[in-house]
Amino acid sequence: MATPSSRGRTSAHQPALAIFAALGTTWVFVLVLLGAFTTTIGAGMVFADWPLSNGSLNPRGWLDNLAMFAEHSHRLSAGVMSTVTIILAAWLWRTEARAWLRRLAVAAVGLVLLQAVVGGLRVLLDHFQVAMVDTSVGRLFAMLHAVLAQLFVCVLIAVAAACSRGWIQWKLPPVTPALRRLGVICCVLLFTQLAIAAVMRHSFAGLAVPTFPASNIDGGLLPREWNFRVGIHLAHRAMALVLFLTLPWFAFRLCRERGASPLMRAGAAVLLVLLGAQIILGAEIIWTYRAVYVTTGHVLVGALTLATTFWLTWLAHRDVIEGAPAA
C-alpha cells in the first residue's frame, strides 16, 4: 500500500523534469566558465565582502568594470545555480519513486550550498596568511572551491542522466565489469588532474615552467631549478600524459562494447575531440603566456572532459545502479 508521502511518485519518464534537469546541468558550465574567467583575470578579490558585492546585489559600476563584472556575474550565476538545484531536488522528492535518485538530488543541494560557503570563505579569509605554504587561507579555500565544482558537475550529470528517457527505457545488455572499472579509473585520474590544476592555478604556477614541450630553454626534459610551483606544474604535465594514454583506451573499449548504445559511442568520439582540444589549449597557455581566453577555455574543456568521461561511466553502471543483473 502506498504511503501518503509516496503517492504521486513514479519511476516513469517525466519529460518536463528531464528537460529541467538537463538545463540545470547546462547552466553549471556557464558557472564554470565565469569562475574560470574570473580567476584567470585575477578578479576573485575585486569585492572584499560576501555574499553581497560592495554591500549590494547591484554594486555601482559593475557593468562597466571587467573585473567587477566577472566576479559579480559569477556570484549571480551561482545564485541561479543554487535555486535551480533546490527546485530540482524538491521536484524529484515530490514526484520520483526511486529513493536513491531523490537522495542524490538532496546531495546536490548540499554540495551547491557547501560550494557557496567555501566561495564566501575564500573572500572573507583571504587576508589571513599561511607562511608554511606561502599563500593565504582564502586561496586554500579557492583550491577547495575549484575541486568541489567538479564534484558538483558530476552529481548534476548523474541526476540528469537518470531522468532521461534513454536511461529509464534502456533495453541494451549490460556492459562488462572491466569497462566499468576502466571508466572509474579514468574518472579518478581526471578528478586528480583537475585538483592538481586547481592547486597550480591558485599557486600562480601556470608559467612556473615557461617552455613546452621541453621543461627548460635548452630543450631538456627536466627544469634547472625546483620549487613547489615547478613541482606542481610538472605534476600537471605528467598526469596529462597519463590521461593521453588512458582516455583513448577507454573510448576504444567503449566503442567495441556490445552493450554500448549509439549515444555512448558518439560520446566516446566527443571525448577524444575534447582530449585533443585540451592538449592544444594546454600548450597554447605556455606559448601565449596565459592568454586569458586560452586559459579560460582550458579550464572549461577540462570540466567538459571530466563531465563526458563521468557521463559515459555512469551510463556504463546503469544496470548496477538500477539493480539489474550485471554481466
Residue 53 near residue 71 (C-beta atoms within 8 A): yes
Query: Are 184 and 144 contained in the same domain?
Result: no
pLDDT at 132 (0 to 100): 67
In a domain, 177, yes or no: yes
In a domain, 10, yes or no: no
Mapped onto helix, strand or coil, the DSSP state of residue 40 is helix
Query: Are 176 and 157 contained in the same domain?
Result: no
Q: What secondary structure does DSSP assign to 267-279, as a single string?
A: HHHHHHHHHHHHH
Rounded to an integer, what distance in angstroms lies between the CA atom of residue 307 and that of residue 52? 30
Q: For residue 145, what are the contacts with CB-CB under 8 A and spacing of at least 6?
A: 115, 118, 119, 122
Phi and psi at 103, nearest 5°, equal: -65, -35
Burial of 235 (0-12, 13-18, 19+ CB in 10 A): middle
In a domain, 152, yes or no: yes
Query: Are 207 and 326 contained in the same domain?
Result: yes
Nearest to 162 by CA among 306, 3, 21: 21
Mapped onto helix, strand or coil, the DSSP state of residue 96 is strand
Q: List pLDDT tens digits, range 16-68.
A: 999 999 999 999 999 999 999 999 999 999 999 999 999 999 999 999 999 99
Query: Are 151 and 220 contained in the same domain?
Result: no
In a domain, 141, yes or no: yes
Q: What secondary structure does DSSP assign to 117-173, as a single string?
A: HHHHHHHHTTT-EEGGGTEEHHHHHHHHHHHHHHHHHHHHHHHHHHHSHHHHT--SP
Which domain-ending residue is among 168, 194, 210? 168
pTM: 0.93
Cα dihedral 14, 16, 20, 26, rounded to 10, equals: 90
Query: Are 207 and 283 contained in the same domain?
Result: yes
Phi and psi at 261, nearest 5°, equal: -80, 165
Which of 9-23, 33-47, 165-179, 261-275 comes out lowest in average pLDDT? 165-179
Which domain-ending residue is among 132, 150, 168? 168
C-alpha cell at 83: 535555486
Query: Are 53 and 123 contained in the same domain?
Result: yes
Share of the chain above pLDDT 90, in %: 86
| Total domain count, the chain | 2
**Per-residue CA distances from 106 to 70, 86, 102, 177, 315 (Å):** 29, 8, 6, 28, 21
Q: With the C-alpha atoms ordered 253, 257, 259, 264, is the resulting torsion angle positive or negative?
A: positive
C-alpha cell at 60: 555601482
Burial of 1 (0-12, 13-18, 19+ CB in 10 A): exposed
In a domain, 187, yes or no: yes
C-alpha cell at 34: 565565469
Rounded to an integer, what distance in angstroms lies between the CA atom of residue 274 and that of residue 266? 12
In a domain, 203, yes or no: yes
Query: Are 191 and 277 contained in the same domain?
Result: yes
Query: Are 93 and 110 contained in the same domain?
Result: yes
pLDDT at 325 over 80: no
Query: Are 189 and 105 contained in the same domain?
Result: no
| Structural domain of 300 | 170-327
C-alpha cell at 216: 627548460
Rounded to an integer, what distance in angstroms lies between the CA atom of residue 18 and that of residue 169? 13
Residue 161 near residue 287 (C-beta atoms within 8 A): no
Nearest to 188 by CA among 139, 250, 101, 252: 250
Bin 42: left if φ > 0, else alpha if -120 < ψ < 50, else beta: left
pLDDT, average across residues 88-114: 97
Q: How many CB atoms lie within 10 A of CB 312?
A: 24
Q: List pLDDT tens digits, range 182-205.
A: 999 999 999 999 999 999 999 999
Query: Are 149 and 281 contained in the same domain?
Result: no
In a domain, 3, yes or no: no
In a domain, 280, yes or no: yes
CATH code of the domain in which 183 resides: 1.20.120
pLDDT at 3 (0 to 100): 52
Rounded to an integer, what distance in angstroms lies between the CA atom of residue 84 and that of residue 203? 32
Which domain-ending residue is among 126, 147, 168? 168
Query: Are 164 and 174 contained in the same domain?
Result: no
Query: Are 239 and 100 contained in the same domain?
Result: no
Which of 101-110, 167-176, 252-261, 311-320 comes out lowest in average pLDDT? 167-176
